[in-house]
């Protein structure tokens, strides 16, 4: 209360804009006891009450949530440099050597050098092209469903890959375990967003989940209509602020070039080779749960059945075709 009084007094003298509106919380813990586990849904509900930008305290930290494409543009473009830092939880600090990797490092010279090496060397078009045969081989193995049958003494590549995947999943769970709101951009200095003050150290959350379901941006957004993406040219590189699956600004996901090549190739090969169905008496549902990556609350189980007598993977050249198509 004393701190709030000091801020109000200082605010009045200096004519500094107020914080964004938001709910009251309890001493020490703030609004944490009331927030629940699915932050994206709770934040969307709060946006309906407080507006496209609101603030709340979770523990000792002030959080600002933006829920509109216009404000996301301000955060990721106009204030990109100011908003580009990170506030990693303890688990992330541990696995990233005190926040020294690309995901958790602050926006500094070290991060810029790492990002440049990743973009120009590891994920360059030349490198991805040279690795194409390895990706094609792995997709061929997947299409033959070898991955569903473990064999050997545990030293084969598929078993080792499974073990690596299990470790990766455990790491993700550890990172998600603390206060999930720690994952988002942190301000490096005081600034103003939509006429409201956001002090240095504020955690800023861009509620992309709400933007992707906003009827102002999408016609019937809750309907499953994949064909809507065939009508117009869709830019998912952070320039279309109503469609941000990989983020935007300088902290946009650096793995887009690899994802473009491998995800569509895998999906096209599986759809080409098999018919897919749900288990008997099971209904398809799309409820999700919050995390570092939002995922289905109930994992999808799909049963493949051979569609062609000589079912096999698509020719590996389709990877080039799909990459070209994604830019058209």
Q: What is the pLDDT of residues 252-296, one digit of tens each?
A: 999 999 988 888 888 888 888 889 898 888 888 888 888 777 888
Give pairs for 75-79: CB < 8 Å, separation 24+: 75/185, 75/193, 75/204, 75/206, 75/249, 76/206, 76/238, 76/241, 76/247, 76/248, 76/249, 77/248, 77/249, 79/191, 79/193
- Report pLDDT for 34: 92
- Report pLDDT for 327: 31
Greater model confidence, 106 or 321: 106
- Please compute, for residue 182, the number of CA atoms within 13 A of its CA located in the half-sphere on the CB side: 16
Measured distance between the N- and C-terminal CA atoms of the chain, rounded to whole angstroms: 57
Given pLDDT bands bounded at 50, 70 and 90, which one contains residue 156? low
Look at residue 179 and tell me whether its pLDDT is greater than 60. no
What whole-number distance in Å separates Cα of residue 37 and Cα of residue 82?
A: 28
Look at residue 118 and tell me whether its pLDDT is greater than 90. yes
Helix/strand/coil for 206: strand
Overall pTM surpassing 0.95 (yes/no): no
- Report pLDDT for 56: 94
- Report pLDDT for 294: 81
- Range with lowest mean pLDDT among 175-179, 190-194, 266-270, 278-282: 175-179
Greater model confidence, 300 or 172: 300
Mean pLDDT along residues 212-233: 87
Helix (H) or strand (E) holding 295: strand 295-296
- Report pLDDT for 161: 62
Mean pLDDT along residues 87-109: 86
What whole-number distance in Å separates Cα of residue 318 and Cα of residue 324?
A: 10
Q: Do the annotations mark residue 253 as ligand-binding?
A: yes
DSSP letter for 221, please.
T
- Report pLDDT for 76: 92
pLDDT one-digit tens code per residue, 297-320: 888 888 888 886 655 544 444 444
Cβ(72)–Cβ(248) below 8 Å: yes
| Residues forming beta bridges with residue 295, ordered by sequence position | 289
- What percent of the chain is modeled with pLDDT above 70? 80
Alpha-carbon distances, residue 287 vs 68, 97, 245, 252, 281 (angstroms)? 22, 35, 18, 26, 18
- Report pLDDT for 185: 59
Alpha-carbon distances, residue 135 vs 130, 266, 270, 273, 316 (angstroms)? 10, 9, 14, 17, 9
- Report pLDDT for 182: 47
- What percent of the chain is modeled with pLDDT above 90? 34
Greater model confidence, 154 or 15: 15
pLDDT one-digit tens code per residue, 8-60: 444 555 678 999 999 999 998 899 899 888 888 999 999 999 999 999 998 88
Given pLDDT bands bounded at 50, 70 and 90, which one contains residue 158? low
**Average pLDDT along the chain:** 81
Residues 6 or more apart in contact with residue 40 via CB below 8 angstroms: 207, 209, 210, 290, 294
Cβ(86)–Cβ(203) below 8 Å: no
Look at residue 77 and tell me whether its pLDDT is greater than 50. yes
The C-alpha R_g of the chain, in whole angstroms, comes to: 23
Look at residue 323 and tell me whether its pLDDT is greater than 50. no
């Amino acid at each position: 209360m004393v701190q709030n009084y000091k801020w109000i007094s200082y605010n009045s003298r200096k004519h500094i804009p107020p914080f964004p509106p938001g709910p009251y919380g309890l001493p020490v813990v703030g609004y944490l006891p009331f927030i629940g586990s699915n932050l994206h849904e709770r934040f969307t509900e709060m946006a309906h009450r407080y507006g496209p930008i609101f603030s709340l305290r979770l523990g000792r930290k002030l959080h600002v949530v933006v829920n509109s494409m216009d404000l996301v543009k301000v955060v990721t473009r106009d204030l990109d440099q100011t908003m580009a830092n990170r506030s990693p939880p303890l688990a992330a600090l541990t696995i990233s050597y005190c926040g020294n990797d690309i995901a958790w490092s602050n926006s500094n010279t070290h991060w810029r050098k790492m990002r440049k090496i990743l973009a120009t060397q590891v994920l360059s078009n030349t490198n991805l092209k040279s690795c194409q045969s390895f990706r094609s081989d792995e997709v061929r193995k997947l299409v033959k469903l070898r991955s569903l049958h473990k064999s050997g003494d545990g030293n084969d590549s598929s078993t080792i890959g499974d073990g690596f995947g299990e470790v990766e999943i455990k790491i993700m769970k550890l990172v998600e375990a603390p206060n999930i709101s720690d994952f988002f951009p942190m301000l490096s200095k005081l600034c103003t967003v939509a006429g409201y003050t956001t002090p240095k150290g504020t955690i800023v959350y861009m509620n992309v989940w709400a933007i992707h379901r906003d009827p102002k941006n999408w016609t019937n957004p809750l309907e499953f209509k994949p064909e809507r993406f065939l009508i117009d040219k869709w830019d998912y590189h952070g320039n279309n602020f109503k469609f941000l699956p990989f983020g935007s600004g300088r902290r946009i996901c650096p793995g887009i070039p690899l994802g473009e090549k491998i995800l569509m190739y895998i999906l096209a090969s599986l759809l080409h080779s098999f018919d897919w169905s749900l288990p008997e008496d099971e209904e398809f549902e799309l409820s999700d749960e919050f995390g570092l990556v939002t995922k289905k609350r109930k994992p999808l189980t799909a049963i493949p059945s051979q569609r062609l007598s000589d079912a096999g993977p698509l020719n590996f050249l389709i990877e080039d075709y799909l990459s070209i198509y994604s830019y058209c």
